[in-house]
Amino acid sequence: MIAMALGMGVALASLALLNAAKSSYVAVHDGALVQDTGRYAIDVLSRAIRQANFVPYDHPAFTDFASLDMRLLAPGIAGLDNARLGDQTDALTRPIENTANYNSDVLAIRYFGSGAGNKADGSILNCAGFAVAAPADATAIATSTEAEKKRGWSIFYVAADSRGEPELRCKYLTRRNSWDAEPIARGVEAFQVLYGIGDRIDGPVTQYRHASHMTEQQWRQVVAVRIAMLVRGEQHSGNDAPKAAYELFGPAYRNSLDPGVVITELKQPHRMRKLFQTTVRLRNVTP
């Protein structure tokens, strides 16, 4: 009896150690996954934002581009508050309220591609990683309407996959002029965007505004974009309490008209979470 009791005690202790080791492994793996996801998403977003308004002026198609009034082109940065999009719908049309994903926003970026002979040289990529070519020749951009059709798109928004897990998606225009969307970062459950307005591209930011409060003129004055994302892990390995609060842009930014910037009720508590923020300056002048 004594031997059986001792053996059972050893077995229970071993099982407890095994469970502790497993929990530690899951937590470390989930933490690394969250970190890698957030860094990758920030990298893709930053690269895309820096391409906004890009024009390859050294390309033959743009030799006479100065004769076209660039102010007739849409701004290189646009966005929607509390919205998600259909994967195959045209550009920003038919947005859907995104309350299911903490009122996450939509960020859209416009730019021309690069490469001679209507072949992309790989220097300008859309958000899905595909190279975007410049227009074939000057006739392809003879009017602002034709020029607008030749510009590339990178559109970001949050939606849930078939299992209900949130993901940051990239919507883009394919080579066949149809629309498609690809997930680029799984676990992004909140995505918020603010737009920095300034007098010139290399000047200071005078104010940050959310999309619903931007005027048509202010979209042309955007010199920086501030983004914030809340990324969660896949396992119940976190220590979030049900009442944990996340201020995506910090305690200094509170705006009751911008839902989603403060998250106080978590849909999946006890998941590991990390907040990622960055501000990206534009490199190219807005038309």
Domain ranges in the chain are 2-281
Amino acid letter, 254:
R
For residue 32, the SS3 value is helix
> What's the pLDDT score for residue 26?
52
- Gap between the Cα atoms of 73 and 53, Å rounded: 10
Check if the beta carbon of residue 128 is closer than 8 Å to that of residue 168.
no
- Gap between the Cα atoms of 186 and 168, Å rounded: 6
> What's the pLDDT score for residue 185?
95
Residue 95, token pair as written in the block = 């947005």
Chain-centroid distance of CA 84 in Å reads 12
DSSP code of residue 261: S
Residue 215, token pair as written in the block = 């005027």
Backbone angles phi, psi at 34, to 5 degrees: -60, -45
- Gap between the Cα atoms of 123 and 106, Å rounded: 25
> What's the pLDDT score for residue 65?
56
- Gap between the Cα atoms of 101 and 142, Å rounded: 42
Check if the beta carbon of residue 190 is closer than 8 Å to that of residue 235.
no
For residue 42, the SS3 value is helix
- Which has the closest alpha carbon to 172: 196, 188, 156, 184? 156
- Gap between the Cα atoms of 91 and 106, Å rounded: 11
Phi-psi region of 143 (alpha: psi -120 to 50; beta: other; left: phi over 0): beta
Q: Which residues of the chain have pLDDT under 50?
A: 20-22, 25
> What's the pLDDT score for residue 115?
84
- Gap between the Cα atoms of 2 and 56, Å rounded: 84
- Which has the closest alpha carbon to 242: 224, 216, 211, 268? 268
